[in-house]
Amino acid sequence: MKVFNFLFALFLFISFHSFSQADTTERVVLVIHGGAGTIMKKHLSPEKEAAYTEKMTEALQAGYAVIESGGTSILAVQAAINIMEDSPLFNAGKGAVYAHDETQQMDASIMDGKTKNAGAVAGVGTIKNPINAAIAVMNLSEHVLLTGEGAVEFAAKNGVEIVDSSYFKSERRLENLKRIKAEENDHGNLEPVDEELKMDVLDKKYGTVGAVALDKENNLAAGTSTGGMTNKRYNRVGDSPIIGAGTYADNNACGVSCTGHGEYFIRNVVAYDVCALMLYKEISVKEATAEVIKKQTELGGAGGVIALDKDGNVAMPFNTAGMFRGYITESGKVVVLMFGE
């Protein structure tokens, strides 16, 4: 069975890469990311690369199925993000990294481009799918951002699935935390270390999942979910639960989800800035996202953005070595990429 999965994934991987020059005049209906960082071929085994491709494809197809059946862009974003949250491959939900105190504290946000309504949670530890809690905050409260135990209490009261914190336990992520602490204490590298662990150490500040969808009613939605920064302290909150920084959606411009060194994305209000550039300078989503990445590089912030405009034009720029990313068109064509192609 595992061999079959691997071969299937390899087949998908080869197939999708041939789509990377796909006809971009076709409307894109869903774009996702699985984090930006030092994602290079040398860090990933062929099996791992295939696993990422397979999981991102599954996420794209789950969101696509929602849109095809006439579901909202919010539900499509949720479906795609839930697949990635439930996978240990990505730093969100099940794959969340550890904070300094060996807890896992997750953040998520969602925004509806039609109403400009939004919801977010920060620093939650026992919500299986933080994006679902963000959606509950948006739909069922008068608030935008709830944090910590209060956010968990609200989610639980409103039917969002709560799990024991042991659900998120990961020996690999704990090993990762140990290595990062050792490195920060100048104890040097703990040998032996494989290439993927090296990548995880290099990317300790990054790792997020996100999605932007455009439904048949031409409504945009954007969402982001993350475990945050490995070894974070003091209940640090990054850009992912911050509307404007990590997530934004406005039917008049585009939907945006960001990934990268959160503090820099907060300081430049990156997600909203893409919309502001499109609205005020009347430039395209490709030009606007290129501009915000240029500003991030100038400020010193590593990462990337995905954006989808109201006409189905997609952009996925980044200033890191790679970014897990992909999109699906209205006819169901899938493109999945991860390196700096």
Q: Is 142 in the site for its own copies (CB under 8 A)?
A: yes
Choose which of 17, 269, 284, 339 interacts with its own copies (CB under 8 A): 269
Q: Is 210 in the site for its own copies (CB under 8 A)?
A: no
* Distance of alpha carbon 97 from alpha carbon 90, whole angstroms: 9
Give, for 256, the enclosing helix (H) or strand (E): strand 254-260
Q: Shortest distance, CB of residue 4 to its own copies, whole angstroms?
A: 45
Report which of 327, 197, 210 is spatially closest to residue 262, judged by C-alpha positions: 210
68-72: long-range contacts at Cβ-Cβ below 8 A with a sequence spacing of 24 or more?
68/332, 70/215, 70/216, 71/215, 72/215, 72/217, 72/219, 72/221
Q: Is 245 in the site for its own copies (CB under 8 A)?
A: yes
Q: Is 15 in the site for its own copies (CB under 8 A)?
A: no
Q: Is 118 in the site for its own copies (CB under 8 A)?
A: yes
Q: Shortest distance, CB of residue 322 to its own copies, whole angstroms?
A: 23
Q: Shortest distance, CB of residue 231 to its own copies, whole angstroms?
A: 11
Rg (CA), the chain: 18
* Distance of alpha carbon 59 from alpha carbon 81, whole angstroms: 7
Residue from 57, 72, 126, 208 carrying the catalytic annotation: 208
| Catalytic annotation present for 53 | no
Supply the DSSP symbol for 127: B
Cβ atoms of 316 and 309 within 8 Å: the answer is no
Choose between 37 and 262: whose C-beta lies nearer to its own copies.
Answer: 262
Choose which of 171, 280, 331, 341 interacts with its own copies (CB under 8 A): 280
Q: Is 224 in the site for its own copies (CB under 8 A)?
A: no
Choose which of 51, 59, 108, 145 interacts with its own copies (CB under 8 A): 145
Choose between 236 and 333: whose C-beta lies nearer to its own copies.
Answer: 236
Residues 6 or more apart whose CB falls under 8 angstroms from that of 205 comprise 229, 230, 260, 261, 262, 302
Q: Shortest distance, CB of residue 93 to its own copies, whole angstroms?
A: 20
- State whether residue 32 is helix, strand or coil: strand
Q: Is 286 in the site for its own copies (CB under 8 A)?
A: no
**Position 49: which residue type?**
E
Known catalytic residues are 208
Residues that bind its own copies (CB under 8 A): 111, 116-118, 122-123, 141-151, 153-154, 232-238, 242-245, 248, 262-263, 266-269, 272-273, 276-277, 280-281, 299
